[in-house]
């Protein structure tokens, strides 16, 4: 079962559903539990990764059909979106560590991360269109922001599987590492980013970095200065 | 008007903004107010075809005077102090200039010094260079667009690492990740900067948008 844990102020979200870590529903871990663990343990970074051999093969289609049949699909997807929104709302660095397959819903989760690390043998795809579906958790939007419209259309409409190296070239992946060493790299990076750093500074930097791709220059700059002033005031107290 | 911390001159319609407080070219409150004043002048100068930002002495700039900067916040004034608003406006004016702006970097280029350089369209550097945004080590963050502009050059993951660790990059590393555009011999900095400006001025419409300037350079503009 998927699980959330915390150690040394790092929150771990484990995808765990043998053998391929299919996601039984869009809210892949409990939103409230995530909130409680991050707050209670004063987490400074969030690592998302898969147990077993894979990150995740995506949504469990049988479940999805069932949800569609009984009319609760939209509600379930909106719960999934709420979870992803909460994940980002902490303004902590989100690091995804990927091995094996990372398809569909799995890739959508990854696209919410700030830092994406993949072992060399990882594989990526949005196979939804082959099943007459589209990615439903913001994947279309997040992918085209990273790769541009042309590549995003190709990946989503053709549904091709790409390897880690191609994903790295397309900037879907930030760090390419030896197979099965993604988590190790993610952990050391999380420590590098957060050790000896005040949580307020981490949050300010993460927010400012995200604003750079989400806000126009003038607004992003004003917010960056606001955050600066907030921290400067704290530093003087 | 002459400035104490900046040397300003124009030669053949190219503006030379030289940081003139060697050896560190530390950016104190006097520098920022002179800089704001000068930028207004540059913005309204329609005869300029390009701008070169360079520095006297060994280093480009060690950045802002942190103690002086923080002392502005010892009062309880809410919001963004006027001083910072002015700095912001000046940096934004620089970023939005529609003439090519080339920063010539060397040795130390830290904090607000780097934020200044990041407002330029092109950054060329001598082989000796150390770039860093060390602000988080002082309990603050870069507040003059440094995070935004770094992100534009190197993306989210590397920006997080660069800003949160405060680690420095040397010239080859900065070139590799895209934070600077060229490494040239330190004696050629000026020559190359002028060449870039003339190439743009002679080949492209004056109103050419800044974004295209940057892309042209990335695509190996014929120099």
User: Is B144 in Cβ contact with A224 (below 8 Å)?
Assistant: yes
Q: Which of A78-92, A190-204, B78-92, B102-116 has the lowest mean pLDDT?
A: B78-92
Residue B97 forms part of a structural domain? yes
pLDDT number for residue B210:
54
Domain membership of residue B133 (yes or no) is yes
Shortest CA distance to A195 belongs to which of B136, B70, B142, B157? B136
Q: Which two tokens stand for residue A54?
A: 């894979």
pTM of the model: 0.92
- Please report the sign of the dihedral spanned by the C-alpha atoms of residue A41, residue A44, residue A46, residue A47: negative
Mean pLDDT of A66-93: 95
For residue B111, being part of any structural domain is answered with yes
Q: Which residues of A touch B155 (CB under 8 A)?
A: 171, 174
The pLDDT of residue B223 is: 46
Asked if the ipTM is above 0.85, the reply is: yes
In the 3-class helix/strand/coil scheme, how is B17-62 assigned residue by residue?
A: EEECCCCCCCECHHHHHHHHHHHHHHHHCCCCCEEEEEECCCCCEC
Number of domains, chain B: 1
The whole-number pLDDT of residue B208 equals: 57
Structure confidence at residue B1 (pLDDT): 74
Task: Please say if the pLDDT value at position B76 is more than 90.
Answer: no
pLDDT for res B207? 59
Comparing CA positions, the residue from B52, B46, B172 lying closest to residue B123 is B52
CATH of the domain at B59: 3.90.226.10
| Cβ separation A201–B140 shorter than 8 A | yes
Nearest to A225 among B84, B156, B160 (CB): B84
- Measure B119 CA to nearest chain A CA, in Å: 12
Residue A21 has pLDDT above 90, yes or no: yes
Range of the domain at B28: 6-218
**Residues of chain B positioned with their CB less than 8 A from the CB of A202:** 164
Of the candidates B161, B202, B151, the one whose C-alpha atom is nearest the C-alpha of residue B49 is: B202
Query: Nearest by CB to B73, which of A189, A209, A232?
Result: A232
- Average of per-residue pLDDT values in chain A: 95
- B223 part of a folded domain: no
Asked if the structure places residue B1 within a domain, the reply is no
- Contact at CB, A228 and B151, closer than 8 angstroms: no
Q: Do B81 and A192 touch (CB under 8 A)?
A: no
């Amino acid at each position: 079962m998927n699980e959330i844990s915390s150690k040394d102020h790092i929150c771990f979200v484990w995808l765990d559903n043998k053998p391929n870590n299919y996601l039984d529903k869009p809210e892949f871990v409990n939103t409230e539990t995530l909130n409680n663990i991050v707050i209670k343990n004063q987490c400074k970074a969030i690592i998302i990764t898969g147990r077993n051999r894979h990150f995740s093969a995506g949504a469990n289609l049988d479940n999805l059909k069932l949800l569609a049949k009984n009319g609760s699909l939209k509600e379930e997807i909106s719960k999934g979106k709420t979870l992803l929104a909460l994940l980002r709302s902490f303004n902590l660095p989100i690091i995804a560590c990927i091995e094996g397959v990372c398809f569909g819903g799995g890739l959508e989760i990854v696209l919410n991360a700030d830092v994406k690390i993949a072992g060399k043998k990882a594989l990526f795809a949005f196979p939804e269109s082959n099943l007459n579906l589209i990615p439903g958790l913001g994947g279309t939007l997040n992918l085209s922001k990273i790769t541009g419209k042309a590549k995003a259309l190709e990946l989503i409409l053709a549904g091709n599987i790409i390897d880690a190296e191609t994903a790295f070239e397309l900037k879907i992946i930030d760090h390419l590492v030896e197979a099965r060493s993604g988590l190790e790299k993610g952990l050391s990076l999380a420590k590098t980013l957060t050790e000896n750093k005040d949580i307020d500074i981490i949050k300010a930097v993460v927010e400012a970095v995200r604003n750079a791709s989400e806000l126009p220059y003038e607004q992003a700059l004003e917010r960056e200065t606001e955050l600066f002033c907030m921290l400067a005031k704290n530093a003087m107290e | 008007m002459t400035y104490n911390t900046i040397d300003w001159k124009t030669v053949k319609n190219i503006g030379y903004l030289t940081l003139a407080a060697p050896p560190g070219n530390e950016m104190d409150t006097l520098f920022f107010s002179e800089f704001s004043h000068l930028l207004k002048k540059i913005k309204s100068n329609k005869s300029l075809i390009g701008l070169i930002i360079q520095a006297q002495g060994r280093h480009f700039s060690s950045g802002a005077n942190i103690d002086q900067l923080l002392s502005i916040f010892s009062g309880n004034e809410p919001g963004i102090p006027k001083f910072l608003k002015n700095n912001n406006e000046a940096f934004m004016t620089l970023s939005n200039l529609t003439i090519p702006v080339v920063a010539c970097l060397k040795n130390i280029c830290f904090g607000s010094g780097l934020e200044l350089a990041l407002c330029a369209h092109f950054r060329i550097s001598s082989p000796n260079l150390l770039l860093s945004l060390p602000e988080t080590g002082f309990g603050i963050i870069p507040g003059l667009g440094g995070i935004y502009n770094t992100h534009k050059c190197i993306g989210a993951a590397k920006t997080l690492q660069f800003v949160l660790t405060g680690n420095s990059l040397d010239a080859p590393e900065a070139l590799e990740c895209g934070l600077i555009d060229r490494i040239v011999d330190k004696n050629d900095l000026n020559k190359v900067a002028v060449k870039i400006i003339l190439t743009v001025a002679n080949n492209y419409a004056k109103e050419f948008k800044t974004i295209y300037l940057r892309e042209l350079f990335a695509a190996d503009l014929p120099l």
